[in-house]
């Protein structure tokens, strides 16, 4: 009973810790500049949409896809702003062990990240590639494991094999770990965006000071956004350079609560959703 109570309270402790510490000043990878963004509440999903754990743009004009995480139905919900449900796509019997994020490629295929791994003990991590042909879903599986995990689960202080954030870029899936200790080390892994079984490649890591819950890349490929408790990190994406080595900015989001989904709308605007279905719009403003 004690360990169940401890597990239940730990996310609250991590959330409060992240909000209180503010932006990381320097963790050996260069300092974070303040991102000049305007953020405002723009809507809310109806209660029939249980949570909002991931976001992706839909093919229909002004539409977005979202989903719940573990314990919710295996379905995607399409909605338009300020939160009107357009349709639901039932994907059963596809399992929803712990769906945590959505990504989309330029052809319109969706990628569902079934890689939530709170206790770092799963051996069935998967990303489902979904395409709609004639209105019916066709699903392929990208199964994977982490190259640096040898224990299932590892010691509590080393449970950094949870993931809630990824994006698609140039035929590759980029995953970011959610460290469930107070170290808050974010690891960057990559995988091919093709069906099969893979060992992910560990590309880089950085200590951000808060758990990462969603990720996306701007349409022009120049900016990567990592959403964390109470803020969003913006990294300049440059070919041939580690993502965390480039210019870095941080924008506090103190009013969004436990935000879980993020998707770029344009190269300078993005949409954020939290676990209660509230929707927020953000726009970057360049300094003059």
Q: What is the pTM of this model?
A: 0.91
Structure-model confidence comparison of residues 22 and 178, the more confident one? 178
Examine the pLDDT at 250 and tell me if it is beyond 70. yes
Q: What is the overall mean pLDDT for the chain?
A: 89
Examine the pLDDT at 166 and tell me if it is beyond 80. yes
Examine the pLDDT at 20 and tell me if it is beyond 80. no
| DSSP-derived secondary structure for the chain | -HHHHHHHHHHHHHHHHHHHH-S--BSSS-BPEEP-EEEEEEEE--TTS----EEEE-SSTTEEEEE--TTS-SEEEEEETTTEEEEEEE-TTS--S---EEEE-TTS-EEEEE---TTS--S--EEEEEEEETTEEEEEEEEEE-TT--SSS--GGG----EEEEEEETTEEEEEE---STT-EEEEEEEESSSEEEEPEEEEEEE-SS-EEEEEE-TTS-EEEEEETTEEEEEE--TTS-GGGS-EEEEE-TTS-SEEEEEESSSSEEEEEETT-EEEEEEE----
Percent of the chain with pLDDT strictly greater than 90:
72
Per residue in 97-149, pLDDT tens? 999 999 999 999 999 999 999 999 999 999 999 998 777 899 999 999 999 99
Domain range summary for the chain, segments of one domain joined by +: 2-284
Which pLDDT band holds residue 248 (cuts at 50, 70, 90)? Answer: very high
Examine the pLDDT at 210 and tell me if it is beyond 70. yes
**CATH number of this structure's domain 2-284:** 2.120.10
Mean pLDDT calculated for residue range 73-96? 96
């Amino acid at each position: 009973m004690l360990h169940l109570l401890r597990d239940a309270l730990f996310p609250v402790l991590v959330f409060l810790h992240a909000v209180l510490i503010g932006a990381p000043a320097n963790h050996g990878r260069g300092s974070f500049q303040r991102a000049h963004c305007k953020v405002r509440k723009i809507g809310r999903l109806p209660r029939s949409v249980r949570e909002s754990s991931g976001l992706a743009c839909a093919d229909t004009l002004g539409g977005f896809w979202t989903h719940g995480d573990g314990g919710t139905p295996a379905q995607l919900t399409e909605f338009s702003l300020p939160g009107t449900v357009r349709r639901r796509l039932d994907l059963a019997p596809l399992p929803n062990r712990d769906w945590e994020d959505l990504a989309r490629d330029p052809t319109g295929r969706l990628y569902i990240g079934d890689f939530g791994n709170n206790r770092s003990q799963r051996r069935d991590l998967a990303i489902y590639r979904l395409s709609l042909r004639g209105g019916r879903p066709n699903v392929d599986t990208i199964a994977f494991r982490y190259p640096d995990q040898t224990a299932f689960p590892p010691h509590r202080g080393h449970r950094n094999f949870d993931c809630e954030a990824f994006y698609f870029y140039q035929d590759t899936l980029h995953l970011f770990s959610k460290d469930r200790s107070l170290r808050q080390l974010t690891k960057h892994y990559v995988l091919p965006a093709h069906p099969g079984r893979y060992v992910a490649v560990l590309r880089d890591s950085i200590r951000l000071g808060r758990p990462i819950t969603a990720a996306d890349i701007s349409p022009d490929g120049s900016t990567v956004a990592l959403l964390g408790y109470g803020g969003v990190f913006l990294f300049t994406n440059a070919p041939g350079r580690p993502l965390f080595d480039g210019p870095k900015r941080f924008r506090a989001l103190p009013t969004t609560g436990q935000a879980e989904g993020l998707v770029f709308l344009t190269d300078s605007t993005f949409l954020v959703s939290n676990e209660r279905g509230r929707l927020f719009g953000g726009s970057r403003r360049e300094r003059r």
